[in-house]
Structure 1
Amino acid sequence: MRKIALFILLFNILLISNIHAQNNNQKYDIDNNGLFNALKDGKTDIALNIIKFGTNVNIKDEYGWSLLHRAVEYNNISVVNELLKNKKIDIEVKLPKDTIITNDNEKWYADGETPLLLACYYGYGEIVETLLNYGANLEARDSIDSAMAIHIAASRGYSDIIEIIMQSFAAKKINNLVDIEDDTGTTPLMWASMNNQIPAINILLKYGANINAQDYDGWSALHFAAASQSYKAVEILLKNKADANLENVNDDKPIDLTTDTDIVELLNKYTNR
Structure 2
Amino acid sequence: MSKSPRDNDKAINKRQAEIYEAVQKGDLEQVINLINTGIDLEKRDKDGYTLLKVAVDFGYLEIVQGLLKAGASTIFPEGRLLSSAIKPGKIEILEELIKAGVDINQRLEDDKTILMEAANIGDINVVKKLVESGADVNALTDGGDFALLNAAYQGWQEVFDYLAPLTSLELRQESEQALPKGLVRRKRANDKYTEDFIDAVAIGDLNTVVQTIKNGVDVNAISSEGTIPLHTASFWGYLPIVRVLLEAGANLESRTEDDGKTPLMSSAEGSALLATYPSSIDRMNQIEVIRLLINAGADVNAKSNEGWTALIAAANSGCVEAVKLLLQAGADAKAKDCWGDTALSRALAAGYVDIVQLLQQAGAEEN
TM over 0.5: yes
The one of 148, 161, 183 equivalent to 2:322 is 161
The one of 17, 37, 45 equivalent to 2:199 is 37
The one of 332, 340, 343 equivalent to 1:185 is 340
The one of 95, 98, 103 equivalent to 2:256 is 95
State the Cα distance separating 1:30 from its structure 2 match.
8.7
Q: Which residue of 2 aligns with 1:195?
A: 350
Q: How does 1:84-163 map to 2 (within 5 A)?
A: 84-87=246-249, 89-97=250-258, 111-123=259-271, 124-144=286-306, 146-163=307-324
User: What is the rounded CA distance, in whole Å, between the counterparts of 2:335 and 2:205 in structure 1?
Assistant: 39
User: What is the rounded CA distance, in whole Å, between the counterparts of 2:233 and 2:350 in structure 1?
Assistant: 27
Q: Which residue of 2 aligns with 1:53?
A: 215
Q: Which residue of 2 aligns with 1:63?
A: 225
Tell me if the contact between 1:158 and 1:199 (Cα under 8 Å) persists in the aligned partners. no
State the Cα distance separating 1:58 from its structure 2 match.
0.7
Tell me if the contact between 2:198 and 2:228 (Cα under 8 Å) persists in the aligned partners. no
Letter in 1 for 2:267: A
Higher RCO structure, 1 or 2 (CA under 8 Å, sep 6+): 1
After TM superposition, the score normalised by the length of structure 1 is 0.55
Letter in 2 for 1:204: L
Where in structure 1 do 4 or more consecutive aligned residues deviate above 6 Å? none
State the Cα distance separating 1:120 from its structure 2 match.
0.3
User: What is the rounded CA distance, in whole Å, between the counterparts of 2:239 and 2:335 in structure 1?
Assistant: 29
Residues 50 and 91 of structure 1: is their aligned pair in 2 closer, same or farther, counting only changes over 3 Å?
Answer: same
User: What is the rounded CA distance, in whole Å, between the counterparts of 1:40 and 1:148 in structure 2?
Assistant: 23
1:58-87 per-position Cα deviation (integer Å, ceiling 9, x unaligned): 111111111111212332111111111234
Tell me if the contact between 1:116 and 1:136 (Cα under 8 Å) persists in the aligned partners. yes
Residues 37 and 178 of structure 1: is their aligned pair in 2 closer, same or farther, counting only changes over 3 Å?
Answer: closer
Q: Percent identity?
A: 25
State the Cα distance separating 1:190 from its structure 2 match.
0.9
State the Cα distance separating 1:199 from its structure 2 match.
2.4
* The structure with more helix, counted as a fraction of residues: 2
State the Cα distance separating 1:183 from its structure 2 match.
2.6
Tell me if the contact between 2:236 and 2:267 (Cα under 8 Å) persists in the aligned partners. no
